[in-house]
A and B are shown apart, each in its own frame.
Chain A
Amino acid sequence: EAEVAQSPRYKITEKSQAVAFWCDPISGHATLYWYRQILGQGPELLVQFQDESVVDDSQLPKDRFSAERLKGVDSTLKIQPAELGDSAMYLCASSPESYEQYFGPGTRLTVT
Chain B
Amino acid sequence: KAGVTQTPRYLIKTRGQQVTLSCSPISGHRSVSWYQQTPGQGLQFLFEYFSETQRNKGNFPGRFSGRQFSNSRSEMNVSTLELGDSALYLCASSSRTKGTQYFGPGTRLLVL
Q: Do A and B come from one complex?
A: no
Spell out A's residues near B (CB within 8 Å): none
